[in-house]
Amino acid sequence: MYYTMYFLYKYCYSTVEHKYNSGAEHPMRISVIIPTLNEEGAIGRVLDDMPENPIDELVVVDSSTDNTPRIADKRGAQVIFESKRGYGRALQTGIENTAGDILVYIDGDNTYDPREIPKIVQPILNGEYDVVLGSRLRGRMFPGAMSPLIKLGNLLLSLFFDVLLLKRITDSQSGFRAMRRHFLEGLTYSEYGMPFVTEQLIKLIKRGARVGEVPICYRPRIGETKLCKWTDGFKIFKVILKGRFLGGY
Ligand SMILES: Nc1nc2c(ncn2[C@@H]2O[C@H](COP(=O)(O)OP(=O)(O)OP(=O)(O)O)[C@@H](O)[C@H]2O)c(=O)[nH]1
Ligand SMILES: [Mg+2]
């Protein structure tokens, strides 16, 4: 009796699994992760613009001392408090506390437009790519969204990334990206600050993930930046060098 029930369960389960992976209407579950550090002026707008479809789960990983978590909570987001600092730390906490097959990262500062999430995840749902970066440089840059120095820094880091890792990516530093969770399994990082996503991207490439880009718009930030442009730029540069030459990854 027990074995009959077990095999019946296995049969039903594998049928469901097959349906979910066969390109049906909603083949993979999607989790959105928003890291926030004092974004009370922006988070409400970001959440108001969040499309219901195709998102299954939304978490705000917050380390703020302002009203950000209360605003996010009122808008119905799941808020996770993270006591340790670091952009990467917040993302990793988001990864560990979500269940989606596809993860989307987006800032809580209103620079990226959440209404473009369907565009970011579509190439993964189509099976074309495993990681999709939103490219600000191929898309529409609003006046004042990126200072000339940051733009130059992003260009140089992306160029450096492409030459050393033999890729054609225009915006390796984009904070708006989607990826299949499957490729992240078991990864650990040396850096849980701003360079986290660069180290992660290098590791995903080394695992054979197919990386694509879609053009996105980029708007001026609401609130104070958390990026230390020189220190973080230099750390990201080191992470790319390490990824290419030191075999550390
Ligand atoms: N929880 C948490 N979130 C963080 C931390 N540092 C940055 N963030 C959030 O991560 C996102 C990215 O940080 P930003 O300051 O926007 O960095 P950036 O996008 O490189 O720079 P900008 O040009 O200012 O947008 C924002 O939503 C921040 O609030 C942190 O230490 N903890
Ligand atoms: Mg930002």
> What local confidence, expressed as pLDDT, does residue 249 receive?
64
Average pLDDT of the chain to the nearest whole number: 90
**Cβ atoms 118, 176 nearer than 8 A:** no
Which residue's structure tokens are 């049928």?
A: 15
> What local confidence, expressed as pLDDT, does residue 26 receive?
53
* Distant-in-sequence, close-in-space partners of 178: CB < 8 Å, separation ≥ 6: 102, 103, 104, 105, 117, 120, 121, 124, 131, 132
**Cβ atoms 72, 43 nearer than 8 A:** yes
> What local confidence, expressed as pLDDT, does residue 198 receive?
97
Q: Dihedral sign, CA of 36, 217, 229, 166?
A: positive
126 lines ligand 1 (CB under 6 A): no
Q: Where are the beta strands (DSSP E) in 70-222?
A: 78-81, 102-105, 131-135, 177-180, 211-215
**Ranges of residues in the chain whose predicted pLDDT is under 70:** 1-26, 247-249
> What local confidence, expressed as pLDDT, does residue 245 receive?
82
Domain containing 221 equals 2-19+27-246
> What local confidence, expressed as pLDDT, does residue 25 receive?
53
**Cβ atoms 87, 226 nearer than 8 A:** yes
109 lines ligand 1 (CB under 6 A): yes
In the chain, how many domains are there? 1
**52/15 Cα distance (integer angstroms):** 27
Pair of tokens at residue 171: 């915006």
Pair of tokens at residue 174: 């984009």
- Cα dihedral 101, 105, 110, 116 in deg (nearest 10): -50
> What local confidence, expressed as pLDDT, does residue 165 receive?
86
Judged by phi (left if over 0) then psi (alpha if -120 to 50, else beta), residue 151 lies in alpha
> What local confidence, expressed as pLDDT, does residue 233 receive?
96
Q: Ligand 1 atom 6: the closest Cα is on which residue?
A: 87
pLDDT tens sequence across 114-171: 999 999 999 999 999 999 999 999 999 999 999 999 999 999 999 999 998 888 999 9
Judged by phi (left if over 0) then psi (alpha if -120 to 50, else beta), residue 176 lies in beta
**CATH number for the domain including 219?**
3.90.550.10
Residue 111 C-alpha to ligand 2 middle, in angstroms?
6
> What local confidence, expressed as pLDDT, does residue 244 receive?
84
Which residue's structure tokens are 């750390």?
A: 235
Mutate to test the pocket of ligand 1, among 107, 110, 225 (most ligand atoms within 8 A of CB): 107
